[in-house]
Chains A and B, each alone.
Chain A
Amino acid sequence: MKEVRTDMRFLILMYVLAFILLWEWLLPVIELTDTEYIAVFLYFIGISFLFGLLRMRWWLSIPLKLIYLLWSLHYVFFETAILSRETVSLLITDLMSNIGIIAAWNWESITNPFRTVLFFVLLWMTIYLIRHWIEVRKSILLFYAMTVIFIAVLDTFSSYSAEGAIFRIMVSGLLLIGLLTISRISDRHGRKLGTGMFAAFSLPLLFAVVCSSAFASIMPDRGPSWADPVPFLKSVVRGEGLGSGSFVAKSGYDTDDSKLGGAFSQDSTVVFSATVPKKQYWKIETKNTYTSKGWEQQSDESMPVNIDPGSLLAFSGADLHEETEFLHAEINMKQQLPYLVYPYGTSKIHTRTDVVLQNQEETGQFWVMKDGEETELDSFGIDLVEQNYSLKALRATSMDDYALESVDFSEYLQLPEQLPDRVRELALAITGKEESVYEKAKSIERYFARNGFMYDQQNVAVPKGNEDYVDQFLFDTKRGYCDNFSTSMVVMLRASDIPARWVKGFAPGEGKTNSQGKMEYQVTNNEAHSWVEAYIPGFGWMPFEPTIGFSNMTGIEYDLELDMSDPEAPDMEERERPETDRTETPAKNDEDNGIIAFFNKMDKFLRENAWVGFAGLAVILFIAWQVYKHRGRWIPKLLINAYRKRQADWVTYTKQYKGLLKQLDRFGFKRTNSMTLSEYAKTVDTHFGGRRMRMLTEAYERGLYGGYTSHDDWAGLQEMWEDLINRSSC
């Protein structure tokens, strides 16, 4: 695209309009896929267009974009320090596992970071195409048509409402097409329009666009003359699935889990909405007994505990003190549930004052009593503390630590007698390699995503006769939804002697910014979910998320690197090193920590002040661009100073001469490859007068072609060279 030169202001306008169109593509994608980080993608589009405008060379722009891409991945997905070993290894593992997944054509299991990389690549290609359409083809009708079709289809078939979008697309798209057409016509006639002329030509276009859009928005909206095609299409697509009713169809939250399996039917009725700053898993209860067909709660039901609304809960886990900052969640029930939903880290529950809360500690159920009878709440508030675990401490846990805990785990290690042995064997094979309790649990959690399991809500088997629900899923079907994954993980944890229980509740739901600018999550029956809690010694019950496609919300502090300097830290490598090395190691560690700490600080600062970061980056880029653009002005001065200090000889002279060639090229004397140096020198001398370039060239040619690397008058050459390079500074 280098050859094409168009008026800069015109190009900027074109790119801004194209940016708006591309933005409209992103909006629904972001909204429908529930991606929070639209800005990350918008900045990417922005810098891509900006680099295009600045005519940045590929060897500069591609690395910059890649750096941005990596940074975005890190910003969105990894909590680790930038550039740390942890991040790199996470990235590499992710990449490797995804290559495996792609090789197996298992597209649905691609992890989120990789999905994001692919999305970035798609954006990159799209931007390249758009630039081609604007600058070379000068025609963007195809892209415009695709945008309209895309938005229209989404508006019809998904929950996305394109009312504003279609208007914005119309205005910006028509302007883009119209202006490009004017530019194309002027090109075809081989003349460049002045700004005034261009404005004159654009006026009718502007008039037409403004009028038509004004009319479009003023005119009354007539209802659709066709019936909504969506229900019909849905019935055609689903026709077969509905016919076979032999499965146990399940939908939403259900207290009876004694028979698991069968299709999960979609039901997008909103159960509750929650206003909370961060995504939360909404827990309702846990179950302890696996029956090989499903789950039951079996125990001598201990007496429920009464809790006053607003008081601190005993089991909140985190060590609370006065300065503890609570996150506040506000829950509005749309459908009634038998128990309250609550996020992890719940410390206080605020309800109306005329009720009493009751809590069954074993199952984690909360319910509300009023005057001795169960009642229901329309809304309530929850204060929660964010749960953070130290990875280092988690990795230090050992199976022996269970002996130190005063809890009776027998009910959480229960397994049905008829559980096939191969389940236990598999569990031990997965966890056997790991040392710590946490790593054992993690290895099971990871197992499903890496071994060809599929997330499927429809074709899910029901165990019959003697079949075991977990065994069937792990070895035969490998297909299922949350219940399959979570139950299997609990069973395998128990088979590995790790106390575990099955948790029911709701996934975070779809987040939107509400009118007060807060994040509000709509949780529907589709979000009904189940997951796993394992007891980690020293930490208590910790949630795990084995289901493919869901991500665990547990806050893990990746603090391994930072603790390197901690003398208490158990460092096996260090212990094994010979004595002589010990003296040097601390210094190196300090240095490492210094760099890592610096990046951590930078990272933290950038996370908190993203705008400052971007503005800074923009300023730096602009300055760099200006310096690069005006290099013709400062490079000669630099070269003159540099070469005055050097010894005058042939080697120096060749460098000087080549520097002069480059400078003359920047000045505007283009030398084609087939031009000899003396031909070039002639054209240069014709412009500047005199014979300086010819004499310099002769000296160079004598050396290069004749091998005469000595010269009588280096000083004279130096003088001519300085004179020429000065004159050619631009």
Chain B
Amino acid sequence: MTHAQVIDKVLANIDKVMIGKRDIAELSLTALLAGGHVLLEDVPGVGKTMMVKALAKSIGASFKRIQFTPDLLPSDVLGVSIYNPREMEFEFRPGPIVGNIVLADEINRTSPKTQAALLESMEESSVTVDGETIRIPQPFFVMATQNPIEYEGTYPLPEAQLDRFLFKLKMGYPKRSEEIEVLSRAEKSVPIDHLETVLTIQELAELQHAVKEVTVDHTIKTYIVDCTSETRTNPHVYLGVSPRGSLALMKSCQAYALIKGRTYVTPDDVKYLAPFVFGHRMILRSEAKYEGITSNEIVDRILTRVSVPIDRVGLK
């Protein structure tokens, strides 16, 4: 079975429970394959949890969920060492972060201390408690959500830390017909319960390895860097995308190309993924915010300005 067929099976599986959210499924899988994490910014009830659950179930991975609240402590996330009287020693009890697929719900509700603990373990793929470091088993994929409509009692994530997330996505409401379909499917039973595992963790690791083999031509690298440097010179942008952003874009392009059954990245991949990668990595000037210009609009403008390389002529 080729990589494309395997991936198609996973996506088809997710489609069974998630209606009309093929793009989000693809993007989540892209992030998973590229070894990155996703920040979902959306209102409750649009299926965020369902998406993560379906993904976890499809690949036979363990699924953990952390509901962030203001009184949540880092140890509630990472785990604690408890004294075991029988063994006469401290025993580490891993927290919910030690899992394959973790849903971190409403992370902007908890204190910066706890946020930092989460973000650090995401970055390092390890947990350090009482001087003891425990590696989190692979695959490790965090899907954090953040509610954009409530500001009371929230601790917005510092923008500089947002680039721990590969993508920032918005789910959006389903279409009318899609919503009706959601109702029909849930009429008799809960679809997620019947979902089968179609991909082993072993196979997933192979896919993650295959992503690294996807060709990124010199023209494409040039194009990515052109886009990135445009964000740094844009008059509306206070802080542009860092080289880490360029790297993130390239890696996600590789993963996305694999999902699309290609072994090479095209400019279309770059154009498609750039808004998700760049959107949360730029800090806009306050003037731009007052004018109501969003970062996605700026990314769109940049993409309509940077020339797509269509041959090797004139390449530096």
Q: Which residues of A contact B (CB under 8 A)?
A: 654, 658, 661, 672-679, 701-702, 704-708
Contact = CB atoms under 8 A, between A and B. Distances in A.
A676 B262 contact: no
Given A705-B217, A705-B219, A706-B215, A676 B311 contact: no
Contact of A676 (B215, B264, B271): B271
B273 to A, nearest CB: 13
Contacts of A708: 264
Contacts of B304: 672, 674
Contacts of A677: 267, 308, 310
B215 A673 contact: no
A661 B313 CA distance: 15
Nearest to B263: A706
Nearest to B265: A705
Contacts of B307: 673-674
Given A674-B303, A676-B267, A706 B262 contact: yes
Contacts of A675: 308
B175 interface: no
Report which residue of A658, A661, A673, A707 has the largest number of chain B beta carbons within 10 angstroms of its beta carbon. A673
Contacts of B308: 673-677
Contact of B268 (A661, A679, A704): A679
Contacts of B264: 701-702, 705-708
30 contacts: A661-B310, A672-B304, A673-B306, A673-B307, A673-B308, A674-B303, A674-B304, A674-B306, A674-B307, A674-B308, A675-B308, A676-B266, A676-B267, A676-B308, A677-B267, A677-B310, A678-B268, A701-B266, A702-B264, A704-B219, A704-B311, A704-B312, A705-B215, A705-B265, A705-B266, A705-B267, A706-B217, A707-B215, A707-B264, A708-B264
Given A674-B304, A676-B271, A702-B264, 7 more contacts: A673-B306, A674-B307, A676-B267, A676-B308, A677-B267, A701-B264, A706-B217
Contacts of A706: 215, 217, 262-264
A494 to B, nearest CB: 69
Nearest to B216: A705
B220 interface: yes
Interface pairs A-B: 6 shortest CB-CB: A706-B264, A673-B307, A676-B267, A705-B217, A674-B304, A676-B268
Contacts of A658: 311
Contacts of B306: 673-674
Interface of B: 215, 217, 219-220, 262-268, 271, 303-308, 310-312
B265 to A, nearest CB: 6
A661 B310 CA distance: 11
A29 B266 CA distance: 64
Nearest to B309: A704
Contacts of B267: 676-677, 705
A654 B304 CA distance: 25
Contact of A705 (B220, B271, B303, B305): B220
A704 B265 CA distance: 10
B229 to A, nearest CB: 15
Nearest to B303: A674
Report which residue of A673, A679, A705, A707 has the largest number of chain B beta carbons within 10 angstroms of its beta carbon. A705
Nearest to B308: A676
Nearest to B310: A677
Contacts of B262: 706
A677 B271 CA distance: 12
A456 to B, nearest CB: 59
A707 B311 contact: no
B217 A707 contact: yes
Contacts of A654: 311
Nearest to B271: A676
Contacts of B266: 676, 678, 701, 705
Report which residue of B266, B268, B312 has the largest number of chain A beta carbons within 10 angstroms of its beta carbon. B266
Nearest to B214: A706
Report which residue of B215, B217, B310, B312 has the largest number of chain A beta carbons within 10 angstroms of its beta carbon. B310
Given A676-B268, A676-B308, A704 B217 contact: yes
A159 to B, nearest CB: 60
A711 to B, nearest CB: 14
Contacts of B311: 654, 658, 704
A658 B312 CA distance: 12
Nearest to A700: B310
Contact of B305 (A661, A674, A704, A707): A674
Contacts of B220: 705
A679 B306 CA distance: 15
Contacts of B303: 674
A439 to B, nearest CB: 54
A420 B100 CA distance: 111
A292 to B, nearest CB: 74
Nearest to B304: A674
A693 to B, nearest CB: 14
Contacts of A673: 306-308
A48 B219 CA distance: 42
B175 to A, nearest CB: 23
B257 to A, nearest CB: 9
A708 B217 CA distance: 11
A126 to B, nearest CB: 37
Contacts of A702: 264
A654 B305 CA distance: 25
A674 B307 CA distance: 4
Contacts of B217: 704-707
A701 B310 CA distance: 8
A38 to B, nearest CB: 48
Contacts of A674: 303-308
A674 B271 CA distance: 10
A696 to B, nearest CB: 13
A707 B310 CA distance: 13
Nearest to B302: A674
B235 to A, nearest CB: 19
Contacts of B263: 706
A199 to B, nearest CB: 42
